[in-house]
Amino acid sequence: MPLGKPLTDTLERMGCGGLVLDERGHVLLANATAERILEQDAGRASGMVEQSEWLRGAIKKLLRRAASRFTLNQNTWVRVPREDKRDLVLHAVPIGDNPDGAARTVLILVDLSFNPEPTPKVLETMFGLTPAEARAAIRITRGYTPADIAQGSGVSIATVRSQLGVVLRE
């Protein structure tokens, strides 16, 4: 399954759950975020249940609460309402026929109550920022003032303003 692991890893870095399902809806691969979301929203199975069976059962449990119908092997968006937080969105994406002849689907879980945040390293790589500029950019998006950032970083407010100036020029 050459596509599955890189795809679920990419979804993990984006803060999304990712599962690769076979043609019958059995879980072939799941990332840690998918497992966390399913455990929080559907509960962990008790007893000696195989991981893939627990994941399949958790998906089914969520889909019973869905606002619309889910169809395997079709590009489908499903919203699952939750009482205590924003909705969970499930997006099924068929990835076609594989050499073994089995149609597969990637199921993407998007927790709308989770606000993903890039790491400083990602900002450094994508925008050519220094580590200090990347940290300042992240802190400003968290609602810190330039004075807060300066105090927490042990630099002057003028330095923080200069860093943020570079960020905003990019």
Read off the CATH number of the domain in which 55 is found: 3.30.450
In tens, the pLDDT along 18-40 reads 999 988 888 999 999 999 999 98
Which of 111, 128, 151 marks a domain boundary? 111
Asked if residues 28 and 127 have their Cβ atoms less than 8 Å apart, the reply is: no
In tens, the pLDDT along 130-159 reads 999 999 999 998 899 999 999 999 999 999
Q: By three-state DSSP, how is residue 144 classified?
A: coil
Q: Are residues 94 and 126 in the same domain?
A: no
What is residue 1's predicted lDDT score, i.e. its pLDDT?
47
Asked if residues 31 and 43 have their Cβ atoms less than 8 Å apart, the reply is: no
* CA pair distance 139, 85, nearest whole angstrom: 24
Which of 89, 111, 133 marks a domain boundary? 111
Asked if residues 15 and 34 have their Cβ atoms less than 8 Å apart, the reply is: no
Q: Are residues 37 and 72 in the same domain?
A: yes
What is residue 142's predicted lDDT score, i.e. its pLDDT?
87
- Taking the whole predicted model, whether its pTM rises above 0.75 is answered as no
- How many other β-carbons are positioned within 10 Å of the β-carbon of residue 156? 11
Number of residues written out for the chain? 170
Which of 111, 132, 155 marks a domain boundary? 111
Average pLDDT over all residues of the chain: 86
Please report, to the nearest 10 degrees, the dihedral formed by the alpha carbons of residues 121, 152, 140, 168 taken in order.
Answer: -70
Domain count, the chain: 2
What is residue 49's predicted lDDT score, i.e. its pLDDT?
67
In tens, the pLDDT along 73-127 reads 788 899 999 888 889 999 999 886 666 656 588 999 999 888 777 888 888 998 9
What is residue 38's predicted lDDT score, i.e. its pLDDT?
92
What is residue 84's predicted lDDT score, i.e. its pLDDT?
85
- Tell me which H or E stretch contains 67: none
Residue with tokens 């570079």: 166
Q: Are residues 135 and 103 in the same domain?
A: no
Q: Are residues 135 and 160 in the same domain?
A: yes
Read off the DSSP letter of residue 23: T
User: What order of strands is seen across the sheet that includes strand 27-30?
Assistant: 27-30, 17-21, 103-111, 88-97, 76-80
Q: Are residues 100 and 128 in the same domain?
A: no
Containing structural domain, residue 137: 120-169
Q: Are residues 70 and 24 in the same domain?
A: yes
* CA pair distance 44, 167, nearest whole angstrom: 43
| pLDDT > 70 fraction of the chain, expressed in percent and rounded | 90
Q: Are residues 41 and 76 in the same domain?
A: yes
Q: Are residues 75 and 132 in the same domain?
A: no
Q: Are residues 10 and 59 in the same domain?
A: yes
Structure-block tokens of residue 121? 């390293």
Q: Are residues 99 and 139 in the same domain?
A: no
* pLDDT (average), residues 53-76: 86
Q: Are residues 91 and 129 in the same domain?
A: no
Q: Are residues 107 and 125 in the same domain?
A: no
